[in-house]
Structure 1
Amino acid sequence: MMSVEKLRGAGSQPGFFRELVESSQDAILMKTLDGEITFWNAAAQRLYGYTSKEAIGHHVGMLMPPDLKDEEACLLEQIARGERIEHYETRRTTSGGRVLDIDVTLWPIRTHDGSITAVCSLMRDITERKTAEAELTELHAQQRQISLALNLMGNARQIPGAQAASRYLPSTQGQGVGGDWFDLIDLGAGRVGVFVGDVMGRGLNAAVVMGQLRSAARALALAGLPPCEVMQTLDAFTRDLPEPFVTCVYLEADPAQGEMTVCSAGHLPVLLIEPDARVRELPVPTGIPLGVGGVPHQQVRLPLRAGTILTLYTDGLVETSSSDIDLRLKLVTSMLEDAVASAGGLESAADRVLHTLLPDTNTYADDVTLLLVSFPTAPLATADTGLECEAVSIPAGRRFLRAKLQEWGLTAQADTALLLASELLTNAFRHARGPLNLRVWHSVRELGVEITDHSTPRPRARLAESTEEDGRGLCLVEALADAWGTRPTTSGKTVWFTMLIAAAGQGAGRSALTPAPG
C-alpha cells in the first residue's frame, strides 16, 4: 500500500492531477478569461458530444443557447474579480442541439503571484431533476386548483338578519390548500347558522374531506338539528373519512329571541365583540375534535344582543412556530377593539386583523380563515301567547294573530298569515300534545309565525288522495309562505313560516286567501 508520504508525492506531480480530473464523472473544462477552452475532460465529451480536439481552442460560447449569449461574459467578469460561483443553474447546448439543464461551479485559477489567469468549470447534468421538479410543480398546481375548486371558499354569502366579512387565504407552502371552511346558512324564521372548521392536513385529501363535511354540516343544519346533534352526527361521519381529525364550531343565532346556541368540537374560541367594542371569548366548552368519538359534545345557550359581532377563525391566523398562541389571541382582541371602535365596518376590521397578524402577504404556512358576523338589529316587534291543545285554541290563535298584525300595520299580510296559522294550529291540535305556544314577530323584511308543541314527530307535506279530507294543510303552507320549516326543541318541536313584507306590501307577494271566520 502506498504510504501517505508517497501519495502526497504523487499528488504533487501535474500528471497525477490531470489523470484525476480526466477520470472525473463530472464534466470539467478550463478556459481563459476571454472564454477560450484550454482543457476538456472525457466527462465533458460525454455530456456535450464534442471531442477535446473539437472543443479546445474554441470559445465556450459554442455551448450557449441563443437566449444566453451574454451570460458567459457576466460570469467571466465575476471570476476575474476573484469570486467563486457555486452551483449556478443554467442551460447549455450539446453538439446535437439538445438543450440541457446544468449545475455549474466556477472558480478562478491563480498563478504563484496570485493573479487570475484562467477559470475552471465543473458541470453536472440536472435535466432529469429539473424535469421531475417541473412535473411535481405542475402536479401541485393541479392539486391546488382542484382543492380550491372543492373548497368553494370566497366571500361570505350575505343572508337576511346578518352582515358578514370573510377572508380566506390558502396555504402557499408544502402540499398547498388545506381543509379550512366556513359557511353562513339561512335557517329560516330569522335564524342564522354559522360554521367554521379545519381539517387536519393539507392537499387534495384534506380538501375532499372538507368538501364532504361542509356539505354534510349544511344539510344537518338545514334539517333543523340543534348544534350538539349536528356535532355528534358529524363526529360519526368523520370517523370513516381519510382525514379523521377535524376541529369545528357551529353557532346557531336567533336574533328574534336574543340568543344563540353554540357547540365546539376542539376549535379555537369564538370572540364576541359587544356593541361598546369590548371583546371577550364566548364561554363555550372546547369539546373534542370530530373523528375522536367517545365523548358527547356540549352546547350552550348564550344571550345575543343587537349590534353584537362574532369573530370565528382557524389556527392559521393565530398559530406560528415562533410565538405564543395566547399572545396572538390577545393581539387579535386588541385589533378588533380598535377596528370596531374606529367605526370602519366589518371589512375594515377584517383587513386590519390580517395585515397586523400576517404582514407577509405572499406566503402562508397554513390556510388562514377569518369570519366576522354581525347581527345589527333585533326584530321590530315580537309577541307570543300560550294555548291549550284544544279546538277552541284555533280561533283564539287567529284572533291573537289578527290583533297583532293590525297593531303593527301589517294588514296586507293578514289574510294569508291567518290562513296558514290556522292550518298549523289545526295540525298541532290533531297530531301533537299541548300546551301550545303561538309566537309572531316581524322585521323590516319579513313576518314570522311559529307554533311550538310538545310532540317530537315532525309534520311533512304530502299529496292527499282525492277521497281524503285532510293532508292539504302543509301544501298550502308550501304554496303560500315564502319559507317554512320545523326544528326540534328541548321538549317537542316548532313549526314556522315566514312571509316577505316588502313584496306583499307592493302586491307582489303570494296570493291572499280569505281565512275561516274566527
Structure 2
Amino acid sequence: MSGDTVRGTTKAEQLYRKLVESSQDAILIKTLDGEITFWNRAAQRLYGYSRQEALGRHIGMLIPAGLKDEEAGLLRRLARGERIDHYETRRTTRDGRVLDIDVTLWPIRSADGTITSACSVARDITDRRRTEAELAGLLAQRRHIALALHLMGTSEPVPGVLAATRYLPSLLGQGVGGDWLDVIDLGAGRVGVFVGDVMGRGLDAAVVMGQLRSAARALALAGLPPAELMKALDVFTTQTLPEQFVTCVYLEADPGRGEMAVCSAGHLPVLLVGADTNVAPLAVPVNVPLGVGGSPHQQVRLPLPAGSTLALYTDGLVETAASDLDRQLELLSATLRTSFAAGADLETAADRVLHALLPSSTTCADDVTLLLIGFPTVPLDSAELTLDTAPRSVRAGRHFVHRHLRSWRLDAVADTALLVTSELLTNAVCHARGPLTVRVWHSARQLGVEVTDRSAPRPQARPADPSEENGRGLLLVDTLADAWGTRPTSTGKTVWFTLLTARADAGPPPPFPRQAYAARTYSGAGPRTDSRE
C-alpha cells in the first residue's frame, strides 16, 4: 500500500470527507429513486436523525405531507441533469417540527457520464423567514399609519361637486410621507380645496401633515379667506412645528358666483381645464412656503367658468430624476386636454394622468397626490338687492326674497325662508353699517339667502335672559335653517343660511352626479358645515 493510501482510502478522499463532515450545511446524497446514501453530521443536527437511522431510508421521511409531489418533481429535474440553486421549501424533522430551508441540488454522474444520484446541500432559514415576516408586518403597519393619517377627518363627498383623487405613498424608505388633500363644504354653495406637501418623508412628515391638515380644515370652516388662512398656518408652522417647511395651495370656489379666491404658499401651479378642454395654469402669485415666516401671503380672485375642472397635485407627480419639470407639466396639461376632449370622466382622466406621468408607479420615489375637481355646468339662479340700514329695508328685503321664491316655485319653503330672512335683516339694520346687500339663490337641492354689510364683528348665537327682548334671533335661525354661518368680506361680513328644497318637493330631488373616490387611494372629501344637511 502506498503512502498516499490509508485502508483503501486516499488522503484526498479523507480530506474531502472531513470537509463535508465539518460543514455547517446539511449535506446528503440520494439516488434518483430517493434513497438516502450519505448523511453528514450537520444533516443529523438539522433533521434529528442519526446516520444509522437515515441511511437506506427514503427522502420522503423529510417531506411534509403537502409537498410529496414537489419532491417527485425535483427528482425528475435532477434526472434530466438540471442543477437547482437556492430552492426555498420546507422539511420535517424527527420530532415533527417543520423548518423553512434553502436547498441547492445537483446531479452526480458516474465515470461514463450517467446520472446515478444527486447531492443536496440545505440550510435552515426559519429564523430569516420569521424576521422577514416581522419586517413585512412593520412595513404594512407603517403604510397603514400613513393611510390612516391621510384618511383622517374624511367624510362624504360635497354635494354637487365632482371629484376624483389619487394618492400613491412612496415605496422607498418607510413608505409614508407628508402629502395631503382636502375638499371642504364651506356652506352656502361654496367649496374649500386644499393640496399640500410637507417637505421630507417618513412618519415625522406624516405626523406634521396630520397636524397641518386638521388646523387648515378648522380655519377654513371658521370662514377665513385664503390669505388670512395661510398667515395663520404660517404662524402655526413657524411656532409649533419649527424647522418644517410646507408648500400648499388653498382655494375657495363659489360656483354660483362663478369665481374663486386662491392663495399659494410655494406650491406648483393649479391647472384649469375649461369647458372647451383648453388647459391653462391659474395666474396665482407663488408666495414663500409655510414655515419661512415674515412674508405676507397674497391671494387673488379669479373667474371660475361654468363646466371647469381644476387639477391640483404635489411634486411627486411631476418631479422625477429622469425628466425635466417643465416637460412634465406640459405632459400633464396635454394628458388632461386629450382626456377631456375624448369625453373622459374625472376617474378615467385621473387614471390616464398617472399612466402618462408615472408609467412605472411601482417605484415612486416620493408621495404622489392628484385631485381633479369639477363644478356644475349650469349656473345657479340668483338675484341681489342693495338696501340701506333703515327699518323699512326689512320689509323690502322680505318682498324681494318672496318674489323670487314664487318665480322659482319654492312656495313650500317660503314661510321658513322669509322668517329667517327677517331675522338676518333685522340684526343687520340694528347692529351693522350699510349699505346692505341681500342675495338669494337656489340649486337643485337647496335655497340660500345671504345678507352682507359693512361691519366686521360677526354675530354670535347666545342664550337670552328671560327678561331680555333681544338675543333670540340667531337661536331661531339656528333652529329653522338647515345650515347657517358667517364669513368675512373685504369690507365687512356676510351672514347666510340654507334650506333644503328637496324636503318641500312632492317627489325626490334631481339626482346629483357623483363620482366616488378611488378605493385604492386616499378619499378626501370633507364634512358638511352642518351635520343636519
Structure 2, unmatched stretches of 5+, are 1-9, 509-533
Distance 1:308-1:94 versus aligned 2 partners, 3 A rule: same
| Alignment length (residue pairs) | 498
Counterpart of 2:332? Answer: 332
Match of 1:188 in 2: 187
- Cα distance, 1:287–1:58 mapped onto 2, change above 3 Å: farther
Range that drifts further, 22-31 or 479-488? 22-31
Counterparts of 2:328 and 2:53 in 1: how far apart (Å)?
A: 66
Q: Which moved more, 1:113-122 or 1:97-106?
A: 113-122
CA distance in 2, matches of 1:285, 1:267: 10
Distance of 1:48 and 1:441 partners within structure 2: 82
Partner of 1:372 in structure 2?
Answer: 372
Aligned-residue identity in percent: 68
For 1:62, what is the secondary structure of its paired residue?
helix
Deviation larger for 107-116 or 422-431: 107-116
Whether the aligned pair in 1 keeps the contact of 2:255 and 2:376 (CA below 8 Å) is no
- Which residue of the partner structure matches residue 518 of structure 2? none
C-alpha offsets along residues 48-107 of structure 1, whole Å, 9 cap, x if unaligned? 222333333333333222222233333333344443332221112222221111122233
Q: Which residue of 1 aligns with 2:300?
A: 300
Residue equivalent to 2:89: 90
1:356-389 deviation per Cα after TM superposition (whole angstroms, max 9, x unaligned)? 4455687766554432221124544333343344
5 Å-filtered alignment, 1:265-284, equals 265-284=265-284
Measure the CA separation in 2 of the matches of 1:460 and 1:308. Answer: 36
| Residue of structure 2 in register with 1:57 after alignment | 56
2:430 match = 430
- The residue type paired with residue 193 of structure 2 is V
- 1:273-313 Cα deviation digits (max 9, x unpaired): 11101111222234444445454433222111111111223
What is the alpha-carbon distance in structure 2 between the residues aligned to residue 111 and residue 68 of structure 1? Answer: 29
2:476 equivalent to 1:471: no
Give how far 1:254 is off: 0.8
Q: Give the letter aligned to residue 40 of structure 1.
A: W
Q: 1:420 to 1:324 in 2, by over 3 A?
A: same
Q: Aligned residue for 1:498? A: 498
Deviation sequence 1:299-356 (CA, Å, 0-9, x none): 2221111111112233444444544444333333222222212224333333433444
- C-alpha distance in structure 2 between counterparts of 1:243 and 1:85, whole Å: 54
**What one-letter code is carried by the residue in structure 2 that aligns with 1:433?**
R
Structure 2 CA distance for partners of 1:407 and 1:96, relative to 1, 3 Å: closer
How far apart, CA to CA, are the structure 2 residues paired with 1:326 and 1:486? 41
Return the alpha-carbon distance in structure 1 between the equivalents of residues 141 and 88 of structure 2. 26
Q: Which deviates further from its counterpart, 338-347 or 361-370?
A: 361-370
SS in 1 for 2:428: helix
The answer for the alignment partner of 1:140 in structure 2 is: 139
1:46 aligns with 2:40: no
Distance 1:236 1:45, change over 3 A: farther
CA deviations over 1:391-449 (Å, ceiling 9, x no partner):
45444444544455455555554444343333223323333333433333333433322
CA distance in 1, matches of 2:70, 2:412: 81
Residues 149 and 210, structure 2, Cα contact 8 Å, conserved in 1 = yes
Work out the CA distance in 1 between the residues paired with 2:322 and 2:98: 44
Rounded to whole Å, the distance in 2 between the matches of 1:473 and 1:507 is: 32
The structure whose RCO (Cα within 8 Å, separation 6+) is larger is 2
Partner of 1:220: 219
Specify every segment of 5 or more residues in structure 1 that has no aligned partner in the other structure, as ranges.
1-10, 509-518
When residues 331 and 484 of structure 1 are mapped into structure 2, their CA distance, relative to the original with a 3 A threshold, is same
